[in-house]
């Protein structure tokens, strides 16, 4: 059984939309695309390579899949770890409109998404089943407690607009931090596991 992990880039105010380029995703009038580029450094790339080195398959939302499929098949350097893994390993895309994907080894999941992904976790072996970006998909899977680990790369920038990872009406949830590091440009990389419902309390008054 594979661990289902989510990796996403976040601004300090929680925005995850269009981190990699100006035209990646302008939905909602978003004008800040490409906001991670000034901070990308060796520490970030080392983490990303380590992450992809653990991959066994990829699970993507339709928008992220289209962005990846338009770019990564063109990267043919066999020593490029991210490209070689994405191009060679199984890819699963959640979509009700994609009929004939052209990217090698792509399977479309269009119905009973939570049940299909639970079964996919059971039959995937040899590494992680990885979600990258794919905010709408991630939020739907959070509601079914299907994500086992969250890799959150937080960048030192506030955007003030854009789509966010966690839903405003989601259930209060606690997380356990299992790893943390910081890169030279100030990217904080934290890995969390869900730890059940959030708990609350009151500080005692001084006597």
**In the chain, pLDDT over 90 holds for what percent of residues?**
93
CA distance 98 to 114: 18
Are 133 and 48 contacting, i.e. CB atoms less than 8 angstroms apart?
A: no
pLDDT exceeds 60 at position 89: yes
Check residue 126 and give its pLDDT: 87
Instruction: Report which of residues 6 and 207 the model is more confident about.
Output: 6
Does the structure show a pLDDT above 70 at 143?
A: yes
Averaged pLDDT of the chain: 95
- pLDDT of residue 86 exceeding 90, the answer is yes
pLDDT digits (tens, 9 = 90+) for 2-50: 999 999 999 999 999 999 999 999 999 999 999 999 999 999 999 999 9
Domains of the chain: 4-187 (3.40.430.10)
What number of other Cβ atoms are within 10 A of residue 195's Cβ? Answer: 12
Structure tokens that stand for 165 in this block: 């990872």
Residue recorded with tokens 């009038």: 29
Task: Name, in order, each residue with C-beta under 8 angstroms of 127's C-beta and a sequence gap of 6 or more.
Answer: 2, 54, 55, 56, 57
Judge residue 4's burial from the number of C-beta atoms within 10 Å of its C-beta, 0-12 exposed, 13-18 middle, 19 or more buried: buried
Count how many residues are written for the chain: 207
pLDDT of residue 206 exceeding 80: no
Residue 177 has pLDDT above 80, yes or no: yes
Work out the widest C-alpha separation in the chain, in whole angstroms. 70
Question: CA Rg, the chain, in Å?
Answer: 18
Q: Is the pLDDT of residue 207 over 70?
A: no
Closest to 52 in 3D by CA, of 17, 80, 94, 19: 80
**Residue found under tokens 């499929």:** 69
User: pLDDT at residue 113 above 90?
Assistant: yes
Beta-strand pair 106-109/188-197: unpaired
């Amino acid at each position: 059984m594979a661990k289902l992990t989510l990796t996403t880039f976040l601004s300090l105010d929680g925005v995850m939309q269009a981190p990699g380029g100006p035209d990646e995703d302008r939905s909602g009038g978003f004008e800040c695309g490409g906001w991670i580029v000034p901070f990308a450094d060796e520490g970030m790339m080392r983490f990303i390579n380590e992450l992809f080195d653990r991959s066994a398959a990829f699970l993507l939302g339709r928008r992220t899949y289209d962005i990846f499929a338009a770019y990564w098949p063109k990267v043919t350097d066999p020593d490029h770890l991210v490209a070689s893994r994405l191009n060679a390993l199984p890819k699963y895309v959640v979509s009700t409109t994609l009929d004939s994907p052209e990217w090698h080894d792509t399977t479309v999941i269009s119905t009973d998404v939570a049940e299909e992904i639970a079964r996919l976790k059971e039959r995937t072996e040899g590494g992680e089943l990885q979600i990258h970006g794919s905010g709408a998909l991630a939020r739907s899977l959070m509601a079914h407690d299907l994500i086992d680990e969250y890799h959150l790369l937080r960048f030192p920038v506030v955007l003030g607009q854009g789509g966010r990872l966690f839903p405003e009406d989601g259930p209060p949830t606690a997380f356990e931090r299992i790893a943390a590091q910081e890169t030279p440009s100030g990217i904080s990389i934290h890995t969390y596991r869900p730890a059940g419902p959030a708990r609350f309390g009151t500080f005692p008054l001084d006597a």
